[in-house]
A and B are shown apart, each in its own frame.
Chain A
């Protein structure tokens, strides 16, 4: 018995370290793209998910590559956690020919069909009914797939959010709605835009079970969303998860963040999901501080190598602009 326990404990440690590495990869990836944006290498706007990595990693832990996913313009981390290639996402952010979308989608429209990623969306809440449709496809096919859709707190005030929840409920579809509540609906506190700040209570109106989870605790997210995924896969229908979190950076790079205080950001930085995970690993003795530093160096080196490679990659052929319309 003791041996079995140790074995499980080892599994858990290994899994936790994998989560940690993936969160760190997303963090370093986002930092790299911010640097590129500031150097003028990225067009339009860039919306990093720094501070929200535990939701992507935890929620997608039990999700299979064949499962469907939609997410938002803040969704590069989720793409990586779903299995998209680091180089492919990076190249897409830079608009390169080798990008997942041949450079025609950009950072807000990451898509990777081979990993079930049917699209990040630049329209708030618009990916939610699309994920419901993918869940409908899974239901019609009876193939055991599920759909996961990520959206922010701002999305809950869009009409189509409600339409999508209702459809998933009446048709008992295999889908998990993951609301990343980072307290700000773009540049406005969500509390000023809703009468009821308990966003998850909206699910009850559609008779969809809901749970609230600490979105900065990767293990808690994995456990809670994991149950929802099991429920979806076994025909139990949709679940709504509200993951409470905070983005440490602006809505987009260059956002002056006049809507919140430095103190508030600093308080949340204390709850950094990666920092928390590291403390937990050290407290449990799953890894030494030295090996964690070495891990961090490896992740940083991996990002740097990929970045150097992708920066050299060719731009799309100009004829490419006319392809893939119909």
Chain B
């Protein structure tokens, strides 16, 4: 991918999406810790405070439950808050508001209420942040009816999906990756909006489908390149949304390749990969030439030590090895 004028970092693309949506719709406003003058810990809201002022770019106390609750109330009253939770691990402090309130209010009210709330946050390991700042928790939220869960892998998708999330009438967990903020890529200058729940084939192939999202897409692409050098053509799919997830795209790819490897940074047990494997199993194994394999983080808290941390997480070599073994055992 060559760098051009339209290339933006992930952080810049997200910033563009926020700015454009705030310009488009006066009901959109931001809340979060250090997002105002400071511009956000990862710089995503940089410049927005200067442009829109303290009412629409609202710094909050360290009070996740309180300000997510406040965002829910504002959303119920017709506003479209975008809240930043600095680290997804901190969302655990506000689980009542997210799971018991935001996710259920539309249903409990018999459809009277809409909660157009976006919770922007970031997840992922690989930065030596230790057990309480490294988790990938998208599966946990995807288990709750009423929440949508999105996790983009590149700037173009990040911008287009964030715009879609802001225009959604349901609460959306918009999960960024802490190691992708500096990742640069092309962004369309147009007002592109990608509907939630549509996967993207980021590399076509015929021998095996490798399914992932967020940062792991890049690991999968790296693995696919290595596999190609060995004569194995992997199709890499970026799921982009966990809830809803694009069953048709996954089924279509597996029909073609007959083999599926699911890669996620979330822990293996009860991770979203299990849901996808189970759904494909329920649909019948007709097209599968091999068992489904998963490459996920070990079921342990993320250790601080960098070598231990790397060993817990998926890496491109593990993906390569898994695919090689699968093709060896089920040719």
- A-side residues, CB < 8 A to B, are 68, 70, 99-105, 109, 111-113, 118-119, 121, 123, 126, 128-138, 140, 147, 159-160, 163-164, 166-167, 170, 323-326
A132 to B96, CA, bound (A): 16
From residue A85, how far is it (CB to closest CB) to chain B in Å?
A: 13
Q: Which 9 A-B pairs have the closest CB atoms?
A: A133-B73, A129-B69, A163-B66, A102-B110, A137-B77, A101-B110, A133-B70, A324-B111, A111-B109
Whether B69 contacts A140 by the Cβ 8 Å rule is no
Whether A99 contacts B73 by the Cβ 8 Å rule is no
From residue A167, how far is it (CB to closest CB) to chain B in Å?
A: 5
From residue B5, how far is it (CB to closest CB) to chain A in Å?
A: 37
38-88 of chain B: CB within 8 A of chain A: 55, 60-61, 63, 65-79, 81
Whether B96 contacts A137 by the Cβ 8 Å rule is no
Does B100 count as interface, using CB distance less than 8 angstroms?
yes
Q: Which residue of A lies closest to B148 (CB)?
A: A326
A residues within 8 A CB of B63? 163, 166-167
Does B3 count as interface, using CB distance less than 8 angstroms?
no
Does B182 count as interface, using CB distance less than 8 angstroms?
no
Does B141 count as interface, using CB distance less than 8 angstroms?
no
A130 interface neighbour in B69, B81, B107, Cβ under 8 Å: B69
Tally B residues with Cβ within 8 Å of A. 39
Residue with the greatest number of chain A CB neighbours at <10 A, chosen from B55, B69, B75, B107 = B69
B110 interface neighbour in A159, A163, A324, Cβ under 8 Å: A324
Whether A133 contacts B110 by the Cβ 8 Å rule is no
Whether A133 contacts B71 by the Cβ 8 Å rule is yes
A123 interface neighbour in B73, B96, B110, Cβ under 8 Å: B96
Whether A160 contacts B74 by the Cβ 8 Å rule is no
Residue with the greatest number of chain A CB neighbours at <10 A, chosen from B79, B97, B107, B170 = B107
B109 interface neighbour in A105, A136, A326, Cβ under 8 Å: A105
Number of A-B contacts (CB under 8 A): 142
A137 to B79, CA, bound (A): 7
Q: Which residue of B lies closest to A324 (CB)?
A: B111
A residues within 8 A CB of B70? 129-130, 132-133, 136, 164, 167
- New A-B pairs, 5, CB < 8 Å, besides A68-B73, A118-B76: A100-B109, A113-B112, A123-B100, A132-B70, A135-B73
A70 to B78, CA, bound (A): 16
From residue A14, how far is it (CB to closest CB) to chain B in Å?
A: 33
A residues within 8 A CB of B81? 133
Does B155 count as interface, using CB distance less than 8 angstroms?
no
From residue A203, how far is it (CB to closest CB) to chain B in Å?
A: 16
A160 to B101, CA, bound (A): 13
Does B227 count as interface, using CB distance less than 8 angstroms?
no
From residue A93, how far is it (CB to closest CB) to chain B in Å?
A: 14
Chain B 150-168 per-residue mask, 1 if CB under 8 angstroms from chain A, else 0: 0000000000000000000
From residue B166, how far is it (CB to closest CB) to chain A in Å?
A: 15
Whether A126 contacts B69 by the Cβ 8 Å rule is yes
A219 to B74, CA, bound (A): 32
A105 to B106, CA, bound (A): 10
Whether B65 contacts A129 by the Cβ 8 Å rule is yes
A165 to B184, CA, bound (A): 42
A129 interface neighbour in B73, B75, B112, Cβ under 8 Å: B73
19 A-B residue pairs with Cβ-Cβ distance under 8 Å, sorted by A, are: A68-B73, A99-B110, A100-B109, A101-B110, A112-B112, A121-B101, A123-B100, A126-B97, A129-B72, A132-B66, A133-B76, A133-B81, A160-B66, A160-B96, A163-B69, A166-B66, A170-B61, A324-B109, A326-B146
B residues within 8 A CB of A170? 61
A324 interface neighbour in B68, B72, B107, Cβ under 8 Å: B107
Residue with the greatest number of chain B CB neighbours at <10 A, chosen from A103, A121, A167 = A167
Whether A131 contacts B100 by the Cβ 8 Å rule is no
Whether B29 contacts A104 by the Cβ 8 Å rule is no
Whether A129 contacts B97 by the Cβ 8 Å rule is yes
* Given A101-B108, A126-B101, A133-B148 contact (CB < 8 Å): no
A residues within 8 A CB of B71? 133
A138 to B153, CA, bound (A): 37
Whether B106 contacts A324 by the Cβ 8 Å rule is yes
A132 to B61, CA, bound (A): 14
Whether B77 contacts A134 by the Cβ 8 Å rule is yes
Whether B111 contacts A102 by the Cβ 8 Å rule is yes
Does B105 count as interface, using CB distance less than 8 angstroms?
yes
A residues within 8 A CB of B108? 101, 104-105, 109, 111, 119
Whether A134 contacts B74 by the Cβ 8 Å rule is yes
Chain B 166-209 per-residue mask, 1 if CB under 8 angstroms from chain A, else 0: 00011000000000000000000000000000000000000000
Whether B106 contacts A326 by the Cβ 8 Å rule is yes
Whether B73 contacts A136 by the Cβ 8 Å rule is yes
From residue A97, how far is it (CB to closest CB) to chain B in Å?
A: 9
A134 to B73, CA, bound (A): 5
Q: Which residue of B lies closest to A92 (CB)?
A: B110
A109 to B73, CA, bound (A): 15
Q: Which residue of A lies closest to B101 (CB)?
A: A126
Does B280 count as interface, using CB distance less than 8 angstroms?
no
